[in-house]
């Protein structure tokens, strides 16, 4: 199995991770702290699975674009004149200059280096002063395009040209979220956080309510008691759903009085509370760092009525809870480096972590070769 992929010192370690939840252990410290494991994850997970990179409400009009870096690959998400959303490599076909940065609206992409010009569908429209170049025909050239999928308004891309379709793998989760209208939500506020720790620490922290009794004892625990939290069975599908009923849940509108935490493996995290969603945009860059941007999403009608003060209050609310989690994440990161640190036992309340660990191990064992590029 994973000997060549992960520096395994002891097969017993993985057997413990695979135990049924009641007897299961955490991943070993190396899984978080070893750069070689991250390199294996790049191949087996980030290069193979679907990665959430945007919300479709960020690109409503033809010509709207958003630049993202998927690991080392610069990408531009762009809505074409035909209305289709595409994920194109934004690296110029001439001498590899990135064509564009940030976000905005464009009719075409013009490389800032030597002005090669691309249409919104990635085809090369013109390349100046190339008349003397033999057997060079701009119209035969096209930026590589990645598979793209939209689920519940979240835009995913995959570095794996053979990635299985996303929606069927999430059908169980889609059914459970049926009474929420996530598709129509729009981003109203965002905040960036420096996150110098391993990405799995954040995912695990997000997907259990057990820590409400410690980390959030005065913020979340009074409203969403750890002991009332439950996790749906996922039958091995690449998602996890944590339900946190509110202490005062009652009445016909019961479904609204709960907080949900959702993970679409590996890195899409979002929480649902009433009609609002808090989306954690997670982009791991190395074993010891990720880019994290937390977005608040609301129905467009509510968004349009928000004052600047309302937006600031929403961000403040997110920051307050996340600041508490930062302390837990940083502490864990530090503790995982201790030479005496070993695997720990999971609580039955950490079922989502157990589910995610099974997915992680499955991917790490399945690595057979380089992820394929289109």
CB nearer ligand FES, residue 28 or residue 138: 138
Q: What is the dihedral of CA 280, 298, 317, 220, to 10 degrees?
A: -80
Site for Fe ion in 87-116 (CB under 5 A): none
Interface with Fe ion in residues 160-189 (CB under 5 A): none
Residue 325 touches which member of ligand FES, Fe ion, none, C-beta under 5-8 Å by kind? Fe ion
Residue closest to Fe ion (Cβ): 325
- Cβ distance to Fe ion smaller for residue 325 or 362: 325
Q: Which does 318 bind (CB under 5 to 8 A by kind): ligand FES, Fe ion, none?
A: none
Task: Give which of ligand FES, Fe ion, none residue 333 binds (C-beta under 5 to 8 Å, depending on kind).
Answer: none
- Count the residues in the chain: 374
- Nearer of residues 163 and 201 to Fe ion, judged by Cβ: 201
Q: Which is nearer to Fe ion, 122 or 245 (CB)?
A: 245
Distance from C-alpha of 158 to C-alpha of 225, rounded to nearest angstrom:
37
**Terminal Cα distance for the chain, rounded:** 28
- Using CB distances below 5 to 8 A depending on partner kind, what does residue 111 bind out of ligand FES, Fe ion, none? ligand FES
Q: Residue 258: left if φ>0, alpha if ψ -120 to 50, beta else—which one? A: beta
Which is nearer to Fe ion, 145 or 325 (by Cβ)? 325
What is the nearest approach in angstroms of ligand FES to the Cβ of residue 96?
Answer: 6
Name which of 118 and 360 has its Cβ closer to ligand FES. 118
243: helix, strand or coil = strand
In the complex, least distance from residue 373 CB atom to ligand FES, rounded to whole angstroms: 20
Rank residues 118 and 156 by Cβ distance to ligand FES and give the closer one. Answer: 118
Other beta carbons within 10 angstroms of residue 369's beta carbon come to: 6
What is the chain's alpha carbon radius of gyration, rounded to the nearest angstrom?
A: 22
Number of residues binding to Fe ion, judged by CB under 5 A: 1
Residue 69 engages Fe ion in binding (rule: CB under 5 A): no
Quote the longest CA-to-CA distance of the chain.
76
Nearest distance from C-beta of residue 64 to ligand FES, angstroms: 22
Query: Applying CB under 6 A, which residues contact ligand FES?
Result: 92, 94-95, 97, 111, 113-114, 116
Tokens of 237: 């599908």
| CB-CB contact of 71 with 159 (8 Å) | yes
CB of 328 to Fe ion, least distance (A): 7
Residue owning tokens 């503790």: 335
Please state, in angstroms and rounded to a whole number, the distance separating the CA atoms of residues 163 and 166: 8
Out of 325, 341, 343, 365, the only residue in the binding site for Fe ion (CB under 5 A) is 325
Query: What are the counts of helices (DSSP H) followed by strands (DSSP E) for the chain?
Result: 9, 18
Cβ neighbors of 336 (< 8 A, separation 6 or more) are: 29, 32, 33, 198, 201
Residue 213, contacted partner among ligand FES, Fe ion, none, CB below 5-8 A by kind: none
Contact between 113 and 95 (Cβ < 8 Å): yes
Q: Where does this chain bind Fe ion (CB under 5 A)?
A: 325
């Amino acid at each position: 199995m994973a000997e060549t992929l992960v520096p395994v010192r002891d097969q017993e370690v993985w057997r413990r991770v695979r135990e049924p939840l009641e007897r299961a252990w955490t991943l070993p410290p190396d899984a978080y702290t070893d750069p070689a494991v991250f390199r294996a994850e790049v191949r087996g997970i980030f290069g193979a699975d679907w990665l959430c990179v945007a919300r479709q409400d960020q690109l409503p009009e033809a010509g709207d674009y958003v630049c993202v870096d998927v690991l080392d690959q610069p990408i531009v998400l762009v809505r074409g004149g035909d209305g289709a959303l595409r994920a194109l490599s934004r690296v110029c076909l001439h001498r590899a200059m990135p064509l564009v940065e940030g976000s905005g609206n464009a009719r075409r992409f013009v490389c800032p280096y030597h002005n090669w010009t691309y249409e919104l569908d990635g085809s090369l429209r013109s390349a100046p002063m190339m008349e003397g170049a033999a057997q060079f025909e701009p119209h035969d050239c096209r930026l590589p395009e990645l598979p793209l999928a939209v689920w519940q308004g979240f835009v995913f891309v995959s570095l794996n040209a053979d990635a299985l379709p996303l929606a069927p793998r999430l059908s169980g989760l889609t059914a459970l979220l049926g009474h929420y209208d996530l598709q129509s939500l729009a981003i109203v506020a965002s905040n960036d956080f420096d996150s110098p720790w391993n990405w799995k620490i954040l995912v695990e922290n997000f997907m259990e309510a057990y820590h409400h009794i410690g980390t959030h004892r005065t913020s979340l625990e009074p409203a969403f008691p750890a002991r009332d939290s439950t996790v749906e069975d996922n039958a091995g599908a690449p998602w996890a759903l944590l339900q946190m009923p509110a202490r005062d849940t009652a009445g016909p509108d019961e479904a609204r009085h709960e907080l949900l935490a959702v993970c679409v493996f590996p890195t899409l995290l979002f929480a649902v509370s009433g009609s609002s969603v808090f989306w954690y945009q997670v982009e791991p860059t190395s074993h010891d760092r990720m880019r994290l941007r937390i977005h608040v999403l609301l129905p467009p009608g509510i968004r349009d009525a928000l004052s600047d003060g309302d937006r600031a209050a929403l961000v403040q609310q997110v920051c307050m809870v996340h600041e508490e989690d930062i302390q837990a994440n940083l502490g864990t990161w530090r503790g995982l480096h201790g030479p005496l640190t070993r695997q720990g036992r999971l609580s039955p309340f950490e079922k989502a972590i157990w589910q995610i660990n099974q997915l992680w191990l499955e991917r790490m064992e399945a690595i057979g070769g380089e992820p394929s590029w289109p």
